[in-house]
Structure 1
């Protein structure tokens, strides 16, 4: 197997790790999207033991923590080692329109999927308006974005 080795690239990587003042939680790339009445957060955590994943909700703050332990290979000479071991942490502000009691998570093939449902009070609903000539339906639509809720209504 032919392999290109650039000693300066390796030196830059090692110097970056040694001089990095962050030395804290590692990067955890995510995708977040809304699908109907829930949000789906997918986080890449390859090589993580599912037992080390911790998901906590404190008020409106969702925290995801994970730990990748180094695999010791006694007697081997590393050519390159780019998969860092250590702690991973991401925190998300959920906003007011989230049902924090119904959040669920699944870890499969190195991807952590967290399903975050929208609360019932933030979902669209019909409200009946009483008039002297009889009931009239009014549809309201509440939408939560970035922690604030906006409400639109139209009379029929």
Structure 2
């Protein structure tokens, strides 16, 4: 079933004009990311296209991983915008890290607009096999012969 709303395009245009004026600083909506666990580490990948690599910052403080980056706006000199939909400004995302993370060994790379953060599991949090020791002494029973009289 199709629904026709003759005012939807007008509403979208009005929202666009009221929410972002041409030439104004617009803040990014979000930083899309994926997070997965591979063997003994987590891998976080975040899309940051058009970001200056020097502005990418990854910090860990009190169990919180903070990713921030900045995309600079285009110079407004002699620009007549026909469409102005790309966000610029500072991107920021925070994640809480569990106690089983080795925060000192976190590493990050930025390549082709994708930030990859490798978050290793701490050695103490890795699964391990526990050796079961056997205590006590063994008793040996020696056969005795009974003399029959």
Q: TM-score, normalised by structure 1?
A: 0.72
Which of 34, 37, 50 aligns to 2:37? It is 34
Which of 54, 74, 77 aligns to 1:74? It is 77
Which of 81, 95, 100 aligns to 1:97? It is 100
Which of 34, 42, 47 aligns to 1:44? It is 47
The one-character-per-residue Cα deviations of 1:43-98 (angstroms, maximum 9, x if unpaired) are 11110001001111002100001111101152121101111111111000001010
In structure 2, distance between residues paired with 1:57 and 1:46: 23
The aligned runs of 1:100-111 (5 Å cut-off) are: 100-111=103-114
Aligned residues: 125
* Structure with bigger gyration radius: 2
Aligned-residue Cα RMSD (Å) equals 2.1
In structure 1, distance between residues paired with 2:119 and 2:105: 7
In structure 2, distance between residues paired with 1:17 and 1:77: 15
Q: More strand by proportion, 1 or 2?
A: 1
| Contact in 1 for aligned 2:60/2:103 (Cα 8 Å) | yes
1:115 alignment counterpart? 118
The one-character-per-residue Cα deviations of 1:104-150 (angstroms, maximum 9, x if unpaired) are 0011111111010001111111221211379xxxxxxxxxxxxxxxx
Q: After alignment, is 38-47 or 122-131 more displaced?
A: 122-131
Structure 2, unmatched stretches of 5+, are 1-8, 138-149
SS at match of 2:130: strand
In structure 2, distance between residues paired with 1:25 and 1:79: 20
In structure 2, distance between residues paired with 1:75 and 1:17: 19
Structure 1, unmatched stretches of 5+, are 1-5, 135-156
In structure 2, distance between residues paired with 1:70 and 1:24: 11
